[in-house]
């Protein structure tokens, strides 16, 4: 029995031929983002965007929180999966990158579902809790600066409702999590949140070895 599939370019092309349903608006935003400095590395894979949309559609979630917008490619995937009355709150440190995505959100007809909050994410999330957003969201997607992942995780658990999902991106962090020489703040943050989730009896957990590592957390 094979332990792992090596997903090289040929396998990825096969997956995209038989599974990916990325329309013109999504594809154009992904291509635009890839042309930015570091854009391709910071953007979620198309398959991951579709996976997030699948989770939302399958669970019937109507309230989503995204921590880390960048150009809003994952935002667009998730917003399109919401029901017409659904709402997605997305947080970023600057409005520079979300402004790129705004035109694509408009073209896709989902701008009214998206609420962009600009500022330091920890402060934004703490303010949301103070404003009565505890237990509000059906799904929280964490994909921001890695050094603060442990704080984002704890805040996300207070913002997601019981039975809801917290999806943590980059939990394998380009393989750096197993590199003993990698001790930068981002790698340390990912290692810490992985250990915290593993030992957290408040949740059910499943780490998926796809993309750059995706961990699914269900609040009990």
CATH of the domain at 193: 3.40.50.150
Helix 73-81 and helix 46-59, axial crossing angle in degrees, nearest 10: 30
Q: For 44-94, write each residue's pLDDT tens digit.
A: 999 999 999 999 999 999 999 999 999 999 999 999 999 999 999 999 999
- Looking at per-residue confidence, does 153 or 1 come out higher? 153
Q: For 1-60, write each residue's pLDDT tens digit.
A: 456 667 788 999 999 999 999 999 999 999 999 999 989 889 999 999 999 999 999 999
Across 168-191, average pLDDT? 97
- With 0.85 as the threshold, say if the pTM is over it: yes
* Whether residue 161 has pLDDT greater than 50: yes
**Residue bearing tokens 């490619």:** 73
> Is position 143 within any domain?
yes
> Is position 3 within any domain?
no
Residue 140, beta-bridge partner list: 65, 166
Measured CA distances, 213 to 48, 96, 172, 174, 181 (Å): 10, 27, 5, 8, 20
**Residue bearing tokens 């957003």:** 133
> Is position 1 within any domain?
no
Domain extent, residue 109, equals: 9-219
Q: For residues 220 and 218, give the distance between their C-alpha atoms in angstroms, rounded to a whole number.
A: 6
What's the start-to-end Cα distance of the chain, in Å? 33
- Total residues found in the chain within this entry: 220
> Is position 4 within any domain?
no
| 42, 101 Cβ separation under 8 angstroms | no
As for how many domains the chain has, the answer is: 1
Question: Up-side HSE of residue 10: CA atoms within 13 Å toward CB?
Answer: 2
> Is position 55 within any domain?
yes
> Is position 40 within any domain?
yes
**Alpha-carbon torsion, ordered 16, 91, 105, 23, to 10 deg:** 0
* Whether residue 122 has pLDDT greater than 50: yes
> Is position 2 within any domain?
no
> Is position 157 within any domain?
yes
């Amino acid at each position: 029995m094979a332990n792992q599939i090596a997903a090289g370019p040929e396998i990825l092309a096969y997956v995209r031929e038989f599974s990916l349903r990325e329309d013109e608006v999504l594809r154009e935003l992904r291509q635009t983002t890839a042309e930015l400095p570091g854009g391709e590395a910071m953007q979620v894979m198309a398959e991951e965007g579709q996976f997030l949309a699948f989770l939302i559609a399958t669970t019937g979630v109507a309230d989503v929180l995204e921590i880390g917008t960048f150009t809003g490619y994952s935002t667009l995937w998730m917003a399109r999966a919401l029901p017409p009355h659904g709402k997605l709150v997305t947080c970023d440190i600057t409005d520079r990158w979300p402004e790129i995505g705004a035109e694509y959100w408009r073209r896709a007809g989902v701008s009214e579902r998206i609420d962009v909050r600009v500022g330091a994410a920890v402060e934004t999330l703490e303010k949301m809790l103070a404003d009565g957003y505890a237990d509000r969201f059906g799904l929280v997607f964490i994909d921001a600066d890695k050094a603060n992942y442990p704080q984002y995780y704890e805040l996300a658990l207070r913002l997601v409702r019981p039975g809801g999902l917290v999806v943590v991106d980059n939990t394998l962090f380009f393989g750096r999590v197993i590199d003993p020489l990698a001790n930068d703040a981002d790698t340390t943050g990912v290692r810490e949140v992985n250990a915290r989730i593993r030992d957290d009896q408040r949740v059910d957990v499943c780490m998926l070895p796809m993309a750059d590592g995706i961990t699914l957390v269900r609040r009990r």
